[in-house]
A and B are shown apart, each in its own frame.
Chain A
Amino acid sequence: MNAALRQALSPARCPSGGLRVHIEGEPCVLRCSGALWVLNHRTLIAADLHLEKGSAFAARGQMLPPYDSRATLDRLEAEIDALQPAAVVLLGDSFHDARSVGRMAADDKARLDRLAAGRDWIWLEGNHDIAALAGAMDDLVGEVVETMALGSLRLIHEPQPSVQPGEIAGHLHPAARVAAHGRGVRRPCFVTDGRRAVLPAFGAFTGGLDVRDPAIAGLFAEPPMAAALGRDRVHALAWETLR
């Protein structure tokens, strides 16, 4: 990691295993779960939950396990319990398709409502769920927005081209791969250069796109940091070690 990047991020390990960095000067924690914790605003941000992805496949004849929504909500609940956020922002593609809300099991839906109670709950629109959010606003707790500002940060589903100071986005599902001892390890990761960040997908069944893909790498003028999700800590990977 070069000095400029290190300077911009001023990274530090948190006791939770997360990595504290600064994005456009805003102190944030890259959590092991793949969520972003914005300290000064007590706001938890999670991208690309893709709830009901399993049932979306089942509807098309591939019977993936119907447990992905509850697995995702388990993790979201654990983060909310640990951090007690004042606000939760879901950064788009929270639902896998337009009919996802209707397919949710009743107890999963009830749990979602319970989590949203007593705090600001914001759904950002994503390409997968803009129709779901539009169609189910009466059924969902919280408010729907296209983008929003948070301190020096600007939250949006899909990263925008060119320089975007403070942009926090999802959509791309970044994943990083390293190899050693004859084995490769691929994990979802955060990507950030201290000015903008792309969050890993939070959903249980969400795949990943290699961070070196031009769609992700092209967002950064200089090699950024890829912070991969380990079991109990976030690993800041050197760009040149990625495979």
Chain B
Amino acid sequence: MFADWFASRGWSPRRHQLEMIAAAEAGSHALLVAPTGGGKTLAGFLPSLVELAERGPRPAFGPGSGVHTLYLSPLKALTTDVERNLMTPIREIGLNIHVESRTGDTKQSKKARQREFPPDILLTTPEQLALFCAWDGAREYFADLKCVVLDEVHAIWSGKRGDLLSLGLGRLQQFAPGMRRVALSATVDDPEMIAGWLRPGRPSTAARSPYPFHGEGTARPVSSLSRSDGEGDHAKHGGGVDRDVTIVRGDPGAPPVIDVLVSEGHVPWAGHTGQHAIPEVYEALKRSGMTLIFVNTRWQAEFVFQSLWAINEDDLPIALHHGSLAAEQRRKVEAAMARGDLRAVVCTSTLDLGIDWGDVDLVIQLAAPKGASRLVQRIGRANHRLDEPSRALMVPASRFEMLECQAAREAVAANAFDWEPVHTGTLDTLAQHVMGCACSEPFAMDDLYTEITGCGPYRGLTYEQFEEVVDLVATGGYALRTYERFARIVRTRDGKWTVRNAQTAQRHRMNVGTIVAAATLNVRIASRRGASLGGASKQLIGGRKVGEAEENYFEQMSPGDTFVFAGQVWAFQGINGMDALVTHAQDKDPKIPSWGGSKFPMSTSLADRVRAMIQDRDHWRVLPPDVQEWLELQAARSVIPDAETLLVETFPRGSRHFLVAYPFEGGLAHGTLCMLLTRRLDRLGVGPLGFVCTDYSLAIWSIKPMDGLDLGALFEPDMLGDDLESWLAESFMMKRTFRNCALISGLIEKRQPGNEKTGRQVTFSTDLIYDVLRRHQPDHLLLKTARADAAAGLLDVARLGQLLTRIKGQIRHVPLERPSPFCVPVLVQIGRERVGGGQAAEMILDASAYGFDEADLIAEVMADAPPELAGAE
């Protein structure tokens, strides 16, 4: 039947599609690793389609009437796309298979119907899975589940969404022990890592697994000795646990053709927008069919979009696509792409993932690619045909970026992908899951612990940690035990935990799946509501929604400030609740420069390649002449560092003294390093004033010279101890991170029946909670979680640690009279930070305050103060 269908379309099933069917027949879990365009999604579904085609009539209710296959995709849009693509073979072969999708946008009536009459194949998102886990009766609903298909798993497995997904899978496996797990991934460096994440239960050979079960070999607390353990658990899990994951590799496509655009033979010294190359990018568009122009930040997308339209003499249909635009507007752009109405789309990572948006002819990566895997993923957008090479053009915005582009090009040619660090399951996410489980049905501690430690990221969870999480869910996890009577989950008579009452469960379900994004405001066009009654002053109200942007972007703005958003210049008018109100602005030049550092730091493996390239003179020949000259000049004026040493230059300039270092470890690690270095420099009395960093280097300036310092001691790795700890505790970023952990864990609920708490209100109160908690219970689970999150994510502490270890005893200090060629990019970089840390807020307040200087004002007022008041305070 399927062979006929393939033949009718002039296709033959691909090798990997047949291997996926074979894996299914063997009852094995499967991970398909294949490049884009290889019929990956169909390969994931084929075994289910075959099974469903061969089954007999489906009972209307009772056993066998439930969902057969659950498909989970990280993007809502992907589910509708897949639904469409899946319906084609089903219709053409004439199969009686019922497919439906379910996302946050699905109508309530349809959702209710799906609960009564489950489709054969249900297409949804990980957030919905988290909600299913909290359903009353989830166990019955999924009892017939045979297969779960995870699409684009490489994009999701290693974060909090991946944690929640893994826990959800563990739950489903309990409901349907025979369920097979099928994951579809783009090409990755180490498929074994994802296979280890996917595999249910504890690995039989711990040594081989990237997720060793840490609990094994450590002493168990006496209280848990009575638990069933070992083989007995497996029987409870059923067959799914014992089976391994079959890794199926798709055929590599034709190698991509990647060019680097060197504008008029020159690469600019510094910059990050690629502005210089816009005319040539435009020429490239004119010569090509549909082109995707990838940039790294949404503000860069806005900038490039504006710049292209400024010279768009042929009126080419060029569109904009990024995460801040209103969903409706994005859908319009996507539809126009699919129809082939557009010539180019300027986009961010929103178009990285799998949807097939019509025929893309060329991919332009404007500014540095940051990692080989991301680059391959993006290039794969062009030409979804395996046998034809994809075409891509990289446009470096500066000379270091030129090195990075060249390194990325070589990495792609060598099939060297970026690797990801092992990710340990987060406890705030676990808290959310535990609450969901209690909302669904009562759970016994030991059973749930066994289930959770069978989930990839949580294999190392100790029983004590688990108890701590359950305590957090129940009463907030406080040492002061005054909340027992308010507990959200309570013990039943047989010792199981269950949700306190129906309202508590309802509130949890409203908040479930919250993997928090930064607080965003709706950007709306303001209109003046006429004063109808009593002549009260006219008030601005929000009209049409233009998009969404992070709240903190507007924190620095005053009414009247102009900025670029959604391809236009707007004047900011003020904030009203969850809305940032804007009006059309007359100026062409926005007052507030829209900039943002790259969200993604340069990957470790790409950084290694860049360092290797710099020290290898023979390698320089592949670079444009002006970049070669720049490297030669650096060799003459300063030194070219070898790959293992850290070059540190110091020089005076104006009234300040500079220290510039070149670790090439990415912006996040550099930012953290600068914060810690300036603390030390402050203690050393050199008066650090500010710093700035890029993905390649960092610069710090100070009042006194820094060339006499013991640099070995300055860069001593022990800064990651107390220095990091004390800086973190005060840091604004830590409060943000804590807020997210509090929301994810359910300690604070974002949504309550009847009213939605705005991000603004949540931020404000969680700051106060953070301060009080830090003072009174510094070892609270959520504080520890927030610290770990900050260290792993925003601070890149692991990478900084590797850097400091790598360069220990390997610092090459070069005192200079004037700036070196290498230091130019960092010195002209925007986004300078003033040294201040915890003091910054006080400095801002002080700078805004009247000059009530103690000395002169006390004198002024004391001159006529009544004598009895003098010194009365």
B840 CB contacts on chain A under 8 angstroms? 181, 183
Q: Are B844 and A207 in contact (CB under 8 A)?
A: no
Known contacts being A179-B558, A235-B849, is A16 close to B841, with CB within 8 Å? no
| Least distance between B372 CB and chain A CB atoms (Å) | 33
- Any A CB within 8 A of the CB of B810: no
Residue from B488, B850, B858 having most chain A Cβ neighbours under 10 A:
B850
Q: Are B777 and A65 in contact (CB under 8 A)?
A: yes
Q: Are A204 and B873 in contact (CB under 8 A)?
A: no
In the assembled complex, the Cα of A70 lies from the Cα of B772 at a distance in Å of 9
Q: Are A183 and B555 in contact (CB under 8 A)?
A: yes
- Any B CB within 8 A of the CB of A112: no
Q: Are B483 and A12 in contact (CB under 8 A)?
A: no
From A62, A66, A186, A236, B850 is in contact (CB under 8 Å) with A236
- Any B CB within 8 A of the CB of A142: no
In the assembled complex, the Cα of A63 lies from the Cα of B769 at a distance in Å of 11
The stretch among A53-61, A117-125, A130-138, A153-161 that forms the contact with chain B is A53-61
| Least distance between B23 CB and chain A CB atoms (Å) | 45
Known contacts being A39-B869, A61-B486, A179-B555, is A235 close to B846, with CB within 8 Å? yes
Known contacts being A63-B483, A68-B772, A70-B776, is A180 close to B555, with CB within 8 Å? no
Q: Are B844 and A185 in contact (CB under 8 A)?
A: yes
| Least distance between B645 CB and chain A CB atoms (Å) | 35
From A15, A59, A71, A236, B776 is in contact (CB under 8 Å) with A71
In the assembled complex, the Cα of A39 lies from the Cα of B870 at a distance in Å of 11
Known contacts being A16-B873, A241-B848, is A55 close to B483, with CB within 8 Å? yes
By beta carbon, the residue of chain B nearest A180 is B844
By beta carbon, the residue of chain B nearest A17 is B854
Q: Say what secondary structure dominates the interface of chain B.
A: helix
Q: Within residues 207 to 241 of chain A, which ones have a CB less than 8 A from any CB in chain B?
A: 207-208, 228, 230-231, 235-238, 241
From A15, A205, A238, B848 is in contact (CB under 8 Å) with A238
B483 CB contacts on chain A under 8 angstroms? 55, 58, 63, 66
Q: Within residues 764 to 805 of chain B, which ones have a CB less than 8 A from any CB in chain A?
A: 764-765, 768-769, 771-773, 775-777, 780
- Any A CB within 8 A of the CB of B747: yes
Interface string of B472-492 (1 = CB under 8 A from A): 100111101011001010000
Interface string of B845-873 (1 = CB under 8 A from A): 11111101110011011100110010011
A16 CB contacts on chain B under 8 angstroms? 873
By beta carbon, the residue of chain A nearest B775 is A71
| Least distance between B169 CB and chain A CB atoms (Å) | 28
Interface string of B441-481 (1 = CB under 8 A from A): 00000000000000000000000000000001001111010
B residues contacting the other copy or chain, number (CB 8 A):
59
In the assembled complex, the Cα of A243 lies from the Cα of B558 at a distance in Å of 7
Q: Are B873 and A182 in contact (CB under 8 A)?
A: no
Q: Are B873 and A18 in contact (CB under 8 A)?
A: yes
Interface string of B236-260 (1 = CB under 8 A from A): 0000000000000000000000000
| Least distance between A173 CB and chain B CB atoms (Å) | 11
By beta carbon, the residue of chain A nearest B732 is A183
Q: Are A181 and B849 in contact (CB under 8 A)?
A: no
- Any A CB within 8 A of the CB of B655: no
By beta carbon, the residue of chain A nearest B478 is A66
Q: Are A13 and B857 in contact (CB under 8 A)?
A: yes
In the assembled complex, the Cα of A27 lies from the Cα of B864 at a distance in Å of 13
Q: Are A205 and B844 in contact (CB under 8 A)?
A: no
A95 CB contacts on chain B under 8 angstroms? none
In the assembled complex, the Cα of A218 lies from the Cα of B619 at a distance in Å of 70
From B478, B500, B504, B555, A65 is in contact (CB under 8 Å) with B478
The contact sample of 19 A-B pairs, CB cut-off 8 A, is: A12-B865, A15-B854, A20-B873, A27-B866, A58-B486, A61-B749, A63-B488, A63-B747, A66-B483, A71-B775, A179-B558, A181-B834, A187-B845, A205-B772, A230-B845, A230-B846, A235-B845, A237-B848, A238-B849
Nearest 5 A/B pairs, CB to CB: A63-B476, A12-B861, A184-B555, A67-B776, A235-B849
User: Chain A residues in contact with chain B, CB under 8 A?
Assistant: 1, 10-16, 18-20, 27, 29, 37, 39, 55, 58-59, 61-68, 70-71, 103, 105, 178-187, 204-208, 228, 230-231, 235-238, 241, 243
